[in-house]
């Protein structure tokens, strides 16, 4: 596997950790959100899929700690097309009204992508453009290090390896908006230039819309798009995913 192909495969495998519509209130209490979705088709096409998610957050007037977990499984025509499990945590702490520091840890397993375990650790600074009861808009910049361990040895930079590490620049913006009393919208854009290879970068765009059915239950719809400037031979630069489901809020 060439390095450009490896970057493309792992870019498609990276989930949107630290992503949720969980309620955030600066009162020091933990709040949780659990989601699930599934699909099944038969006849001319045989396909099934399911996804599970869990999000927890604790916030005060000066810091925020978020923990997330994701699982996705899909099978098409008897072949497993997705088997992905991820978890992550991020801690933000304000050092002024507009500026904050953050630290992030992420873990990922993706069997179809030959990824036994990905470990990512990153840190940086962020800016609050606005924060109120209706939502927020933040921008962050930082540095991270990713270490990947493969199920089967992969060729990286001309060598057959069981594992591979790299440094990345982390640039992101994220916002949440209350559209109506029952409808919330959230989006996040992340750009990750690879520091060790000039011109190699990838981008991730995530959106989520939730509509409350009751005080605790909501319908959800999410769209994810991944872009890689060097996808490798036979691979497209863009990869899109649309997921719908329901969520349970425990406040």
Domain count, the chain: 1
Percent of the chain with pLDDT over 90: 38
| pLDDT band at 100; cut points 50, 70, 90 | very high
Mean pLDDT of the chain: 81
Share of the chain above pLDDT 70, in %: 84
- 5 confidence band (pLDDT: 50, 70, 90): very low
Q: What is the 3-state secondary structure (H, E, C) of 99-130?
A: EEEEEEEEEEEECCCCEEEEEEEEEEEEEEEE
19/123: higher pLDDT: 123
Q: Which among 174, 233, 188, 209 has a CA at the least distance from the CA of 6?
A: 233
* C-beta neighbour count of 159 within 10 angstroms: 10
Find all residues with CB under 8 Å of 46, minimum gap 6, and list them: 76, 77, 78
For residue 68, the enclosing domain spans: 3-250
- According to the model, what pLDDT value does residue 32 have? 94
Give the model's pLDDT for residue 58. 95
Mean pLDDT of 82-105: 92
Stretch among 9-23, 48-62, 75-89, 207-221 having the lowest mean pLDDT: 9-23
Is the predicted pLDDT of residue 36 greater than 70, yes or no?
A: yes
- Determine the average pLDDT of the residues in 212-221: 91
pLDDT at 127: 97
pLDDT value, residue 177: 92
Enumerate the H helices of the chain as residue ranges. 3-13
Output the CA torsion sign for 150, 152, 155, 160: positive
pLDDT in tens, 79-90: 777 788 989 999
State the CATH number of the domain containing residue 119: 2.40.160.40
CA angle 81, 83, 89 (to 5 degrees): 140
Torsion angle in degrees (nearest 10) through CA of 227, 230, 235, 239: 0
The average pLDDT across 178-187 equals: 92
Average pLDDT estimate for 60-81: 86
Looking at the predicted structure, is the pLDDT value of residue 174 above 80?
yes
Q: What is the mean pLDDT of residues 115-141?
A: 91
Determine the pLDDT at residue 157.
Answer: 65
């Amino acid at each position: 596997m060439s390095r450009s192909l490896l970057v493309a495969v792992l870019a498609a495998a990276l989930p949107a950790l630290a992503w949720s519509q969980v309620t955030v209130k600066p009162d020091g209490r933990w709040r949780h959100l659990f989601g699930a979705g599934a699909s099944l088709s038969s006849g001319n096409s045989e396909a099934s899929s399911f996804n599970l998610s869990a999000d927890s957050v604790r916030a005060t007037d000066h810091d925020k700690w978020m923990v997330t977990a994701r699982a996705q499984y899909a099978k098409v025509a008897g072949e497993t097309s997705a088997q992905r499990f991820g978890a992550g945590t991020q801690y933000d702490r304000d050092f002024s009204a507009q500026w904050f520091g953050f630290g992030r840890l992420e873990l990922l397993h993706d069997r179809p992508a030959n990824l036994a375990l990905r470990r990512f650790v990153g840190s940086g600074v962020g800016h609050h453009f606005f924060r109120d009861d209706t939502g927020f808009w933040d921008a962050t910049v930082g540095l991270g290090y990713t270490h990947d361990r493969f199920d089967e040895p992969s060729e990286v930079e001309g060598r057959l390896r069981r594992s591979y590490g790299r440094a990345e620049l982390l640039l992101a913006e994220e916002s949440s908006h209350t559209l109506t009393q029952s409808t919330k919208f959230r989006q996040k854009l992340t750009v990750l230039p690879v520091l060790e290879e000039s011109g190699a970068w990838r981008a991730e765009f995530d959106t989520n819309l939730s509509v409350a059915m009751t005080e605790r239950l909501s319908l959800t719809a999410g769209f994810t798009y991944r872009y890689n400037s060097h996808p490798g031979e036979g691979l497209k630069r863009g990869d899109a995913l649309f997921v719908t489901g329901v969520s349970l809020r425990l406040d």
